[in-house]
Structure 1
Amino acid sequence: MITLTQAGSQLLWGVCFLLVTKLFWELFFSPLRSFPGPFIATFTNIWRAVAVFHGRVDRTHLELHRKYGAAVRIGPNCISLGDPNLIRTVYATKNPWKKSDMYRPNDVLVNGQRISNIFNTQDEDWHSKYMRPIRSFWTMTKVLDLESLIDETLDKFVKKIDAKFVDGANAGKVCKADDWLAYFAWDVTANISFGRHYGFIDQEKDVDNLIIDSTKGLFYFAPISQIPWIDYFLDKNPIVRIGPKPTLTGVLYAFGVVAEYQAEMKDHTKHEKNASKKTSHTLDKYVQLKKTHPDLVDDNQIVNWLMLNILAGGDTTSATMRAVVYYLSKNHTAYEKLVDELDHAQLSIPAQWRDINGLPYLDAVMREAMRINPGIAMIFERVVPEGGFTLPDGRYIPAGKKVGINPAVTNRDREVFGDDADVFNPDRWLRKPEETQEAFNARSRRMKDVADFAFGGGGRVCMGRYLAVLELYKLFATLYSLYDIRLVDPSHEWTYRNAWFVYQYDIPVIVSRRVKA
């Protein structure tokens, strides 16, 4: 009769045998064995999850690619690609490569029902079907219709900055730029989406924990997405849910806003009064689609669309905003060039797109901030399609394997951006004195193609990218026309955590009114 001790010993030996067998297979027989990378990553995804959990996976990926080259094995079935030339192939518009299952933990679970969204769905047909009715709302031409809503938030923000940090007894008070830029970004998102602010600026805090819950959700999603089946035992556990419930707070908030909007529509007098005063916001436009697309659009679908605004609009743009303030405070030359350009432009306040669209140095600063500190700095995973894929160097990746590119890697490609690719240098976006116009156009086009990948690629490119550009350019043209914004200590270093979105902390600044020459 086998004792418990013997049974346990046999189980242990069995597990060891399986591990050794798997390691032997991955090292000598796996079709990915020719791809270098961390040893542990050859036989387990735990390496990936741990690397992401530490919050510096962008640096890790960059170091790996500079050590091993254009293709690095970061999991038993996953290859990280660092060649910018492959962006248009992996993230094609026609016959797109399918998103991997890494996105599935981003589903929200409401009343036992698992709800995907346009961002994370793996179903390309479903994505195209539900993007089609709203795609035209997000062209730059249509986004400019929302400029007055951004102006409302900008006016509110400037008045609050004046009162809290610039005027009277509060002059010289330290401003936590990381918090206040997030408040602005999230309130802009709300005003554009619902025609009202969350109240972050007014109340000077994270209202209803929307920001902190969103952050917790991404802190969960980022490492779990590297081993996505674990999510079934954590957040999607049907018995006891474990984890921060990614996106749930935002979904419930959106359902509440839609319900209030529907109630307001029934009160025709109130609705007409509000409508006469407001630019048509996103919710207005989405509700109108019930009439033109009754077979597709209901309240659940409207919430699904609004979730894109809520989840990405605040976090990604605030990440870029913090980068602009931080890097300009660290680079006096760039700072002076920007304010000189803004002074000569003699802008109205808030700055208007028609006046700032052609300012070359403002454009250079914004592009450089998004390049060196992309708001999303993890691999956008895709599944190799049927037939497999052969890299330019001849190595073959079979169908079904996961591949992807991290914009934090391609954005620092030295062949594209120069030997100083790790340095904040807006001048790289300007024509050099000895450079012909033709050569500059080609270099600029190449840099833009690569850096714009921070917004995604192909048919899954970020829907709100033009809105983000409008918001960023208007904010900083306004702020740097009005204020000097300096780090309390120029040598101070921020802290950050990469959890799909990039979160930066500890940016204490002094804001003072500019005295123009």
Structure 2
Amino acid sequence: MDLLQYLFLCSIFIPLWIVLYYIVPYFTTYTHLRHIPGPFVAKFSNIWLAHYSRKGQRYAAVHAAHRRYGRLVRVGYNHISIADERGIQVVYAHGNGFLKDTFYEAFVSGVPGVFNTRDRAQHTRKRKIVAHAFSPGAVVAFESHMAENLDRWVKQLDMIAAQGDVNGFARVNMMPWCTYIAFDIIGDLAFGAPFGMVEKGRDECESQVRPGGPVVLTRGAETLNRRGEVSSTLGLLPSLRPYANYLPDPFFTKGMQSVQNLHGIASMAVSKRLDDTGKPEQNKRHDILALLLKSKGPDGLPMQRNELISESLTQLIAGSDTVSNTSCAIIYWILAGERDAPGTILPRLQQELDAAIPSTGAIATHVQVKNLPFLRRCIDEGMRLHSTSALGLPRIVTSASGVWFEDAHFPIGTVLSVPSYTVHHDAKIWGPDVGKFIPDRFSPQSFTSRQKMAFNPFSYGPRACVGQNVALMELSLIVGTLIRRYDLVLEQKEMKCTEGFSKKPVECWVRIKRRA
């Protein structure tokens, strides 16, 4: 066959394949969704959603689509986004029987963990094991590990602040420093030792992709970001997954390498800890991995090594990515709120912190900050405005009778999601000042039942974040320590963000100096 014949056949069969694969199902299998509006391409495939995942702007594209088309938007050939707080109960509540979408299979590295397993029985087993590591009593015992890392963190920030100009302020990007402290804390909790990012002042971890293979230094946060970006994209385009390593786009090749590197970070850290199990100092440790090693599932069996690595990897991702992104965003929004309404945020927050934390202490303790009402309102308002878990977490309808939302019926097999970012920015729920940082909207007298239903920073139902108590503890300690110890002034007009699985501030430039 010569080249002309080959091109001729391609010109016939490729369009024919597109028609059969994308267009025919629109008129046959998915006719029940044709009345739901959405971007034109999204009616036929997941390419529209994958395109914006590839750009790191999925949350923004979905938000814009809802503003254009309304409460229900068809964002994929079989995927409906519901921008309504009542959808949270419908899609994520206990007892509805929904399953995680095949989207999550792209996040499996090794064996499935509690985050990405789609099997209901396996998830129940894994969650029961992992939940012991995040009970209220266990969380309190984690504080000593957090304190050691926070102490190193403020020493580094003290040195930066000491290099101030004539007004006493130094300039620093808080995003990397939020990343360093979050990685070191979760390293300490999940693996028995911090990664050393705070002490080194750079994003660096050891990784061993293959057992017995070479140990290499890799950028942990960068690796995590790339893994989130590529997995979120491939989760929407499952037919590309087997070929991702061979695609000419470096987004996919570098992303797949990051998947391996991230697994290597967790694998090496777990191996180090298991090798040190017999040492007295390790036997006395009370951390997540120690609890996972001691725990048994309903079947009476402990976790195997590959399962330990997968669960530890889940904790690494959840405990570093979400805490670093959220803490940085909260700092930004506190300072932005103060800039927009001088004297209404920082003085009030610092007064509350000063009254709770003795002047002799370099860092806050959990007992000192856990019940501070204005600090908690600032944290909640920062989580609402930023929405680290901004994308709609996709679930598959499994009931044979389907499910109804208002007058729309979604049969078995339909994928539904509720976009947290859009619900958190709905002026009908939060008021016309929805884009402003107003912590007192979370005060008991202002926080309405509708807002309570809509506020969803940790997801909801049986798949809600199992580590949210640890996350809130970390956020209180990080933000409380920083705001109490330093004077801070925001140096950028707006916070730009990119999104892998979670939403990440690109940077957060501030001026900093020690408070008198």
* TM-score under structure 1 length normalisation: 0.87
- Pairing partner for 1:337 from 345, 348, 361: 348
Aligned 8 A contact 1:96 1:459 in 2: no
How far apart, in 2, do the equivalents of 1:448 and 1:358 lie? 19
Q: Determine if the alignment matches structure 1 residue 133 to structure 2 residue 129.
A: yes
Asked whether the 8 Å contact 1:339–1:480 carries over to 2, the reply is: yes
Q: 2:190 aligns with which of 190, 193, 200?
A: 193
Q: Is the 8 A contact 2:113 2:126 kept in 1?
A: no
Aligned equivalent of 2:209: none
Query: How far did residue 497 of structure 1 move?
Result: 0.6
Is 1:463 the equivalent of 2:466? yes
Distance 1:125 1:320 in 2: 31
1:395-434: per-residue Cα shift (whole Å, max 9, x none)? 2222112111111111122233222222222121125xxx
Matched, 1:26 2:26: yes
Change in Cα spacing, 1:248 to 1:7, as seen in structure 2 (3 Å) is closer
Within the candidate set 253, 265, 268, 2:265 is matched to: 253
| Paired residue secondary structure (1:474) | helix
Asked whether the 8 Å contact 1:315–1:501 carries over to 2, the reply is yes
Query: Structure 1 residue 492: deviation in Å?
Result: 3.0
CA shift, 1:293, in A, is 7.2
Q: Distance in 2 between matches of 1:24 and 1:459?
A: 36
Query: Closer, same or farther in 2 for the Cα pair 1:69/1:159, shift >3 Å?
Result: same
- The 5-angstrom pairing of residues 52-451 of structure 1 reads 52-108=53-109, 114-166=110-162, 172-208=169-205, 209-235=219-245, 242-245=253-256, 246-266=258-278, 271-276=279-284, 279-289=285-295, 295-332=301-338, 333-347=344-358, 348-431=361-444, 440=446, 443=448, 445-451=449-455
The more displaced of 491-500 and 406-415 is 491-500
Superposed CA deviations along residues 208-251 of structure 1, whole A, max 9, x for unmatched, are: 311111111112112222212211221599xxx94433543232
Higher mean C-alpha deviation, range 246-255 or range 393-402: 246-255
**Aligned 8 A contact 2:163 2:170 in 1:** no
What is the letter of the counterpart of residue 15 of structure 2?
C
Any conservation in 2 of the 1:41–1:48 contact (CA below 8 Å)? yes
One-letter amino acid of the counterpart of residue 394, structure 1: D
- Report the CA distance between 1:470 and its aligned residue: 0.2
C-alpha contact 1:90 1:96 (8 A) present in aligned 2: no
2:102 and 2:399 mapped to 1: Cα distance?
Answer: 17
Deviation at 1:142, TM superposition (A): 2.3
**Structure 2 letter corresponding to 1:103:** Y
Structure 2 counterpart of 1:472, from 471, 475, 484: 475
Q: Which position in structure 1 is the counterpart of 2:15?
A: 16
Equivalent position SS for 2:122? helix
Counterpart residue type for residue 400 of structure 1: G
Q: Which amino acid aligns with 1:233?
A: Y
8 Å Cα contact 1:250/1:311 also seen in 2: no
CA distance in 2, matches of 1:27, 1:484: 61
Alpha-carbon distance in 2 for matches of 1:250, 1:16: 39
Give ranges in structure 2 of 5+ residues lacking alignment. 206-218, 339-343
Shift in CA distance, 294/16, structure 1 to aligned 2, threshold 3 Å: same
Give the distance between the partners of 1:185 and 1:123, measured in 2 at CA.
Answer: 30
| Contact 1:371/1:411 (<8 A) preserved | yes
Matched residue pairs, number? 488
Distance 1:403 1:41 in 2: 14
- Inter-CA distance 294–11: structure 2 relative to 1 (3 Å threshold): same
Aligned AA for 1:334? I
What is the letter of the counterpart of residue 172 of structure 2?
A: C
Q: Give me the whole-angstrom Cα distance separating, in 2, the residues matched to 1:219 and 1:227.
A: 13
Structure 1, 339-348 or 316-325: larger mean CA deviation: 339-348
Q: Secondary structure at the match of 2:31?
A: coil
State the alpha-carbon separation in 2 of the partners of residues 211 and 10 from structure 1.
47
Q: Is the 8 A contact 1:166 1:511 kept in 2?
A: no
Structure 1: how far apart are the matches of 2:198 and 2:240? 38
Q: CA deviation at 1:81?
A: 1.1
Distance 1:262 1:75 in 2: 44
Deviation at 1:68, TM superposition (A): 1.7
- Cα distance in 1, alignment partners of residues 301 and 7 from structure 2: 58
CA distance in 1, matches of 2:142, 2:502: 25
Unaligned runs of 5+ in 1: 109-113, 432-436
For the structure 1 residues 173 and 167, does the alpha-carbon distance in structure 2 shift closer, same or farther, using more than 3 Å as the test? closer
Contact 1:342–1:481 (CA under 8 A) maintained in structure 2: yes
Indicate if the aligned counterparts of 1:325 and 1:485 stay in contact, CA closer than 8 A: no
Alpha-carbon spacing, 1:136–1:264, altered in 2? closer, same or farther (3 Å): closer
Q: CA deviation at 1:18?
A: 5.3
Residues 105 and 224 in structure 1, CA contact (< 8 A), matched pair in contact too: yes
Computed over aligned residues only, the root mean square deviation of the Cα atoms, in angstroms, reads 2.7
Report the residue type matching 1:353 in the other structure: H
Deviation at 1:27, TM superposition (A): 6.0
Which residue type is aligned with residue 450 of structure 1?
A: A
Matched residue, 2:216: none
- Relative to the length of structure 2, the TM-score reads 0.87
| C-alpha contact (below 8 Å) 1:247/1:311 kept by paired residues | no
- Return 44-53 or 179-188, whichever deviates more: 44-53
**CA distance, structure 2, for counterparts of residue 229 and residue 194 of structure 1:** 35
